[in-house]
Amino acid sequence: MKESIYKTYDELPLFLNAQTVAKVLGVSPSSGYELLREKDFPSLRIGNRIVVPKEDFIRWVERRTGGAE
């Protein structure tokens, strides 16, 4: 598993692309792209780009790790 280059949520950009999602989660870039296409992942399409709002990404992570309890 790759180590994330981000140490806090404050370091994240307002919108995350597939590469950033992959870096944050410590997965391969192809896994980041696959995740953005998942039905329950909070991504949105802007033209040809798929991005994830930072706050939605944080909530998604917390729901899956028990951090929101």
Record the pTM: 0.84
Q: What pLDDT score does 69 carry?
A: 53
DSSP string covering the chain, please?
-PPPS--SGGGS-SEE-HHHHHHHHT--HHHHHHHHTSTTS--EEETTEEEEEHHHHHHHHHHHHTTT-
> What are 53-62's pLDDT values in tens digits?
999 999 999 9
Q: How far apart are CA 49 and CA 46, in angstroms?
A: 5
Q: Where are the domains of the chain?
A: 9-65
* 13 within 8 A of 54, measured Cβ to Cβ: yes
pLDDT tens for 29-55 read 999 999 999 999 999 999 999 999 999
Fold of 9-65: Arc Repressor Mutant, subunit A (1.10.10)
